[in-house]
Structure 1
Amino acid sequence: MLLYIDMSLLAEQIKSTGVLEWFAVGFGVTSVLLARKNNVLLYPAGIIGILCSGFLLVDAKLYAETLLNAYYLVMSIYGWVMWKNRSSSGASQISRSTGTEQKITWAIALGGWAFLYFILTNFTDSDVPIVDAFVSSTAWAGMWLLAKRKLENWIWLNVSNIVAIPLLFHKQLILISFLTIFLFVVAVFGYFDWKKELDHSHGEFETV
């Protein structure tokens, strides 16, 4: 019975989804698929999706979510520049996180979690502040690592996804729940694809 209700809700959500929302979802999915392929075009695709989402969020008066979307926009522009930068300061190749980068990642995740929890509990009527804050802060960390072209970005993004999936079902956001499941699966393959490419490039380097 519960499955029937969920599927009915999914059908209703699909029917009520506007063109701009489909564009946002479509370009968002495209950016993740391109990220799996280690293709820099993930950033222009992602930026289009973020801008579409931004208009929807402002229209819905979800200003906190709009600010979160703005972070993704900034990190996408930063990542695009870093991926195109062929110098030693850029991120033209896949690599693993250094010790310093791991510390920064944890600082983003834990600091962001505390900050968002404070905001949600003091300035919103959120009934799931701990989980909601965790999903966003780990996604922040993953986005930062993606911009640096670090293999571990997929791990952090999927930590966010695996917690977000039951949260979204709990909130009856069925369409977004299924989308997040899809993104979780893509991220798993993305990790192994990137690891294979990283190992291959190291093998070539050692041969030379």
Structure 2
Amino acid sequence: MLVSIDLNLLLEQIKATSLLEWIAVSFGVTEVLFAKKNNVLLYPAGIIGILCSGFLLVDAKLYAETLLHAYYLVMSIYGWAMWKNRTASGASSISRSTKKEQKITWAIAILGWGFLYFMLTNFTDSDVPIVDAFVSSTAWAGMWLLAKRKLENWIWLNVSNLIAIPLLFHKELILMSLLTLFLFVVAIFGYFDWKKELDQPNAKFATV
């Protein structure tokens, strides 16, 4: 009986979902499927989804998530340029993180968490500052690795996704929560797909 009530509530919340959230979710799905296929079109799809999601997150008072989406926007533009760059400074193929890049990734996650928590507790009315800051800082790290086409981006993004799922559900952003669950599953397959390509000798990894 309890399961039935919860399911009915979920269905009612989905029916009440705004058009903007539907659009954000649709482009979010498109983005992650392109990412799984190692296709540069993930970036234009992602930019549209980011802009739509930003308005929803402000309304839900998820300010760190909003800042995260602003970062996503910047990193999407940067990543788009990097993926299209065929020179040595670009990211035209999949690779693993170097030790230096791993240190930078951890620094982004840890320092970002502290910075965002400080900002949320001192300058906003956020009611979930610790969790909101953690979701955003780990996703910052993952997006930085994605822009550089590093295999480990999937791990960091899924750490963020795992915590974001219940957070978004708590904020009654039901479709975005379900989208994040979908992203979590796809990211698992994305990791193994990229790893398979990376382990193939003399493989062509870039898809444009």
Partner of 2:97: 97
Partner of 2:67: 67
Query: TM-score scaled by structure 1?
Result: 0.88
- C-alpha spacing 1:113/1:83, structure 2 compared with 1 (3 Å): same
Contact 2:32–2:186 (8 Å) recurs in 1: yes
Partner of 2:206: none
- Distance in 2 of aligned mates of 1:51 and 1:177: 17
- C-alpha spacing 1:131/1:140, structure 2 compared with 1 (3 Å): same
**Secondary structure in 2 matching 1:87:** coil
Contact 1:10–1:175 (8 Å) recurs in 2: no
| Total equivalences in the alignment | 202
Partner of 1:130: 130
Amino acid paired to 1:146? L
- C-alpha spacing 1:69/1:188, structure 2 compared with 1 (3 Å): same
Alignment of 1:80 onto 2:80 = yes
- Distance in 1 of aligned mates of 2:62 and 2:169: 23
Partner of 1:194: 194
Partner of 2:176: 176
Structure number with the bigger relative contact order (C-alpha 8 A, sep ≥ 6) is: 2
Percent same amino acid at aligned positions? Answer: 80
How many angstroms does 1:175 deviate by?
A: 3.0
What are the equivalent positions in structure 2 for 1:1-208 lying under 5 Å apart? 1-57=1-57, 60=59, 62=61, 64=63, 65-200=65-200, 203-204=201-202
Q: Which runs of 5+ in 1 are unaligned?
A: none
Query: TM-score scaled by structure 2?
Result: 0.88
Amino acid paired to 1:67? L
Amino acid paired to 1:176? M
Contact 2:86–2:92 (8 Å) recurs in 1: yes
Amino acid paired to 2:139? A
How many angstroms does 1:61 deviate by?
A: 8.0
